[in-house]
Structure formats: structure tokens, C-alpha cells
Amino acid sequence: MIRPIEDVRARVASQKTLLPGFYGKIDFDVAPERFTEDPSAGVARDRNPLGVSVTQDDLDRVRAYTMLGDIVADAYAALIPQFGFRRLIDMLVTACEQGIQAVPDAPPELSAFIAEMEATPDWIDMDLVREGQRLDRNAAAHLGPFAIRGAFVATFLNKYSALPMALTGTLGAETAAKRVNETAAFFTTTLLPGALERHGEGFKAAAMVRLMHSMVRFNALRSGRWDASVYGVPIPQVDQMPAGLIPIFLMSFQMLRQGRRRFTPAERAKVELARYRCFLLGLPQDLLADTPEGIVRMMTARDTTLRRGFDDETCGALIRATLDAYLPPDESPANRLHDRIERRFAKAFFLRHFMRGDHKRAASMGIEVSRADEAVFIVVALLVTLQMKAFDLADRLPLLRDVADAAMVRRIRALLKRYGHAEFTTDAANYRPTNAKAA
């Protein structure tokens, strides 16, 4: 059930009294500078793409969720002064793996956090989620290792949404690879069989990501360098939409362009997987539509109300650090070769999918895409497409389906070893000052 907008606003306002240590000084009645009603000033300017019209209610919801953090995870992160961040992580891991009863003297904030994640809503079909996992393994196994860097870079195109990472200092040259690999590990982990069940690795990874985000909010808001009147709440609900929904948004947009208005069974399963994964990360049903029009409408509402802004000292630095990062686990000849190929692919992937082929704009951000990069992209894309098509064909043949899926699971597990152990943590000791213009 979609919440009435009055209930959403009341939930946003409740943060001030429920979490005064986080939000006591924020005026939730005032829209931050990052939110704009003028689509000409937004990241996206067309509020009615392909005839899908954004409504005033959509805009009101986006404005409200621009100021909503994660109440249960934030309440748990607020215990950092009492327990320390490492103890909070250990208790959360135990609660995910063994149940809340396995945590001696578990704080009520942890119980509430786990209980919210356990309460699978009736608008989620878990059978469809499992089918979505199976279907998404193909792309994760073949395209994921090449596309993750380019997709990660795309999250730094806007200074309002990128500032939390810049402020923490967790994406310098020495840690960028770790964060890229952690992101890849999270989404890849959620595709393993059983990973999103109550005691699965994906469930635990989602809880860890939520705690990491809350730790960023806790430390950013207490740093004295966060201007809520400009940036709103660090990592608000609307800024988690792109990471969780971009694949199904692009799929939905392409469907509407083709004149289709209904998902196929396979497409619907992928949508349900994305929605459940977003639910585990704390997103509300209001932002998780299940129709092509609804998905495009809500993402458009977010992108047309996020004010454009590119600060080289914030966004440019993050982009360059990510492009310079060496992602493989070691420097064997094979890994060095993969690194060179993947970097070229990532730059061209970013240019095509997020810059609409605008070389000049990409160059202004520090991303020079050469003809050699484009050539590598074409060759790799062709090989990846052929691999994915082969497994799609095997999936349609009853005698080969289980064999192909088992091969995908083995490939997924091998990739997870390559990405390394994901910690999903942040510590105030890593925070560094930001320039005056950015903060």
C-alpha cells in the first residue's frame, strides 16, 4: 500500500525527535538547495519522457524522501559512542547469521533493525525474486566484471549526491578499488541461490550496507562540515534509487520506447528482485513501482528535482580516483591484462550509457575516451553478448537449464573471491576536511 503523503512527511519529521543526535539541528520543513522544482535546473530536464507524466504527488514524495535517512539503521548507528563501530558490526553479523537471540544483551535498536528487514512485505513475491536471481546471474557473470567501474563512476556526476563519499575520504586512490569491489560484491552476492533468504549472505550484506550508510550519516552530520540547508540528509532514500533500480529503469525506458507496456515473465522477475533488494536496503514501496510507467515516472521525478552541479574538487576527484584504481586482487600477467581491457571498456561504457556519447563533456570531467577505448568496448561487448546469448539459449532447453545455472553459480562464486571480502564499514577516523565550496 502506498503511504499517504501526509504520513510520509510525518515520518520524515519524526527523525528530529526520534534521533536528535542525528537530526536535531535540521529543519525538515525547508527544502534543501539540492531539490529544485524547476526541471530546467535538474539533472534531467524532461519531466514527461515518452508520454509518462510525472505528477505533483510524485514530486512531493521525492521532496519528502530527499530528507529521509534510515530510521532503524540510524538509531543503531547512534550507539557508536556507547559500543564503538566494530562492536556494532560484530553484533549485526551475529544477528544476521544466527538470529537476534544469539546476541547477548542485544540492544533494542538492533532488534528493531533486524525485525524490519525480516518483515517481508506482502507486495513482494519471493518466488519471483528467486527467479530474478537465477536470470540475473548471466549478466553478473559475464558483463559485471567489465561494467562495474563505469557504473560506479556514474554515481559521482552530481556534487549534491556525491558529497558523502568525498567527505568521508573513503574514495581516495588507495581505497577506491576497495569500494568498487565492495559494491560489485554486494550485488553479486545477492544473486547466489538462497542469498536473500533470512540467513543468507545477501540478507547480511544488505544489513551491512545499511549500517555503513548510517555510519556515514552519523559521522557526516557530526563533522561540522555538512550543510543540511544545501545538501539535505546524507545518503537519503532517493539517492539509493539509482544504484538499485538503474537496470530495470533502463529496461523499462527501452520498453516504452518500443511501445510495450507490460513486462514479460522474465522481465517481471528481474523487477521483483530489484524491488526486494531495495526493500532490504530500506527503501519504501512508494519508490519501488512495479510497472514500466511507474518505474520511469519515479526515477524521472528524482532526476528532474536533483539540481545539476559538478564540482571538480568533489566529483572530479572521485571520478579520477575510481578510474585510476587497480581492481584485480594481484598483479599477475593475466590480471594486468584484464585491468587494461576493463579500464578501456569502463570508460567507453560510461561515455555511451551516462554521457550520451558526449566526448567533450566526459573530457571536462577527466575522462578521455580514445578510439582504442571504443574499439576495445566493441570487441568486449560482442564477446560478452555472445556468451550471454549462449547461456540464454541453454536456459530455454530443459536438459541444459540446470547445468547452465550451475555453471553460472560457479562463475559467481569465483567472481566473489576476486572481489575480495566486503567489509561495508566506515570510520570517523577516515574522514577528512572538504573544500569550502563543496561543504
Tens of pLDDT, residues 6-26: 999 999 999 999 999 899 999
Coil vs helix vs strand at 210: helix
Q: For residue 31, is it within any domain?
A: no
Say how far apart CA 155 and CA 162 lie, in whole Å.
7
- As given in the structure block, the three cell numbers for residue 223 are 563533522
Describe the chain by its helix, strand, coil percentages, rounded to 5: 70, 0, 30
Strand partners, 307: 42
Tens digits of residue pLDDT in 238-263: 999 998 999 999 999 999 999 999 99
Q: What is the mean pLDDT of residues 280-289?
A: 95
Residue closest to 426 by CA, chosen among 70, 77, 72: 77
Q: For residue 2, what pLDDT band results from cuts at 50, 70 and 90?
A: confident
Q: Structure pTM?
A: 0.91
Nine cell digits for residue 379: 570487441
What are the φ and ψ backbone dihedral angles of 42, each rounded to 5 degrees? Answer: -85, 170
Confidence of residue 433 (pLDDT cuts 50, 70, 90): very low
- pLDDT at position 83 is 95
Q: What is the three-class DSSP state of 278?
A: helix
Cα–Cα distance for residue pair 137/159, rounded to 1 Å: 33
Residues across the chain:
439
pLDDT of residue 426: 57
In a domain, 223, yes or no: yes
Q: How far apart, in whole angstroms, are the C-alpha atoms of residue 253 and residue 353? A: 13
Determine if residue 30 is left, alpha or beta; phi over 0 gives left, psi from -120 to 50 gives alpha, anything else beta. Answer: beta
User: Would residue 84 count as lying in a domain?
Assistant: no
- The yes-or-no verdict on residue 428 having pLDDT over 60 is no
The answer to whether residue 94 is domain-embedded is no
User: Domain limits at 281?
Assistant: 120-418
pLDDT for residue 437: 39
pLDDT score of 432: 46
Q: Is residue 70 part of a domain?
A: no
Cα atoms in the 13 Å half-sphere on the side-chain side of 20: 1
Using DSSP, state whether 393 is helix, strand or coil: helix
Whether 42 is covered by a domain: the verdict is no
pLDDT in tens, 345-383: 999 998 998 888 999 988 988 889 999 999 999 999 999
Residue 401 is assigned to a structural domain of this protein: yes
Domains identified in the chain, total number = 1
Q: How confident is the model at residue 434 (pLDDT cuts 50, 70, 90)?
A: very low
Q: Give 436's pLDDT tier (boundaries 50, 70, 90).
A: very low
C-alpha grid cell for residue 394?
541453454
Q: pLDDT above 90 covers what percent of the chain?
A: 79
pLDDT in tens, 34-87: 999 999 999 999 999 999 999 999 999 999 999 999 999 999 999 999 999 999
Contact between 1 and 196 (Cβ < 8 Å): no
CA angle, corner 425, sides to 178 and 225, nearest 5? 100
Residue 111 belongs to a domain: no
